[in-house]
Amino acid sequence: MATLPEKDQQIIEAHTGLIHRVVMACQNRDIVPDLDDILKQAEQNGWLQLVAAIRRILAGTRNDSVLQGLDGEDSVIVRSILRGLQNPETLPDLNKGIDGSMAAPGIAAMINGARQGNMETLQLLGSMAQQMLKAGGDMARLAGILRPLVKGERDPDALTDGMGAEGQRLVLAILEELGKLDRH
């Protein structure tokens, strides 16, 4: 990925979690049981063409035809997914920073699924927490609040205690997404 233009690299890094989840789901849909919830949330956030392309990839399309109608950012994400399917070594590093605009809906959907008793989602959330702990810093603190979030804690002051500005923004975005899910 070092040969990608800087803007493309930033787009991929901002959507690392989604890219990995789609590649994992293409290999074994059972290990990402909440992907449909994440895609529905992304559609509600206006990512209609991207979600349509991802659904085509999940259905088995693996060529450039899935890029038709996508804007530049969506194309970068879809190309990264397609590259990752061909060669997993091209996938972006999961331990880099997380962009709250894409991470928050996915994390909130996982928390919501775990709250509703979905054991696969709970296990996936646990695996994600282990990765976050390894990353350290705000990601490790986020790992520490996943269980309280699943149990229903929604106090932003308690949940963001000790976090830096980036971690606080992510937690607040997760709380906002959980609020949306609770209203539905």
For the stretch 78-95, pLDDT in tens is 999 999 999 988 888 765
* Mean pLDDT for the chain overall: 83
Neighbour tally for 110: CB within 10 Å: 26
> Taking the domains of the chain in order of start, what are their residue ranges?
6-90, 100-183
- ∠ Cα 98 102 104 (to 5°): 80
Identify the pLDDT of residue 176.
92
Please name the residues in contact with 102: beta carbons below 8 A apart, sequence gap of 6 or more: 14, 15, 17, 18, 42
9 Cβ partners below 8 Å, 6+ apart?
1
Q: How confident is the model at residue 2 (pLDDT cuts 50, 70, 90)?
A: very low
Q: What is the percent of the chain with per-residue pLDDT over 70, rounded to a whole number?
A: 89
The stretch 57-70 carries a mean pLDDT of 94
pTM, to two decimals: 0.55
